[in-house]
Amino acid sequence: MTAPIFVINGPNLNRLGTREPEIYGRATLADVEATCREAAGERPLRFLQSNYEGEIVEWIHEAIDAGAGIVINPAGLTFSSVPVIDALKMSARPVIELHISNIHRREEIYHRSLVSRVATAVIAGLGPAGYPAAVAAMAGLLDRGAGR
């Protein structure tokens, strides 16, 4: 069976397109989803967004149970959420941490990612194009049988 990919988006990403466009661009979340589905081709893909930590944790559990690779933009939860990190640690499949912006060139509060400590790889600063890049990279990792 072709392992699925879950793309999970955190708080405020539902506002892409109008939220600080000078940082995040003008593509909407729906635009971003379309690029992910194009990159995934026939591979099953779940594209999700929530402003609630618990819902994101439950989607990570669902991804793990489905044997899925996880592409996650935790947004602001990146820097604070132990529950998200604890859930990601349970994944036997790759986890790619994704940020539209280069968080290391931004304000100090964005410099210390808790998620990077458990992620297989990190993509930051490619803009919305980072999403299809992450999906394509994840497909390659899954096809090679890579673990987290």
Which chain residues interact with ligand DHK by CB under 6 A? 12, 73, 75-76, 78, 99-101, 103, 110
CA distances from 120 to 39, 75, 91, 127 (A): 19, 17, 11, 20
- Closer Cβ to ligand DHK, 13 or 39, answer by number: 13
Q: Which residues, other chains included, contact 97 with Cβ-Cβ below 8 Å and sequence gap of 6+? A: 72, 73, 74, 78, 113, 115, 116, 119, 121, 122, 123, 124
Query: Considering only CA atoms, which of 34, 40, 23 is closest in space to residue 99?
Result: 23
111 catalytic per annotation = no
Partners of residue 114 on adjacent β-strands: none
Marked catalytic residue, from 52, 99, 110, 131? 99
Q: How far is the CB of 89 from ligand DHK (least distance, A)?
A: 21
Amino acid symbol at 111: H
Q: How far is the CB of 88 from ligand DHK (least distance, A)?
A: 16
Marked catalytic residue, from 24, 61, 104, 131? 24
- Closer Cβ to ligand DHK, 21 or 44, answer by number: 21
- Closer Cβ to ligand DHK, 118 or 123, answer by number: 123
Q: How far is the CB of 79 from ligand DHK (least distance, A)?
A: 7
Residues recognised as catalytic: 24, 99
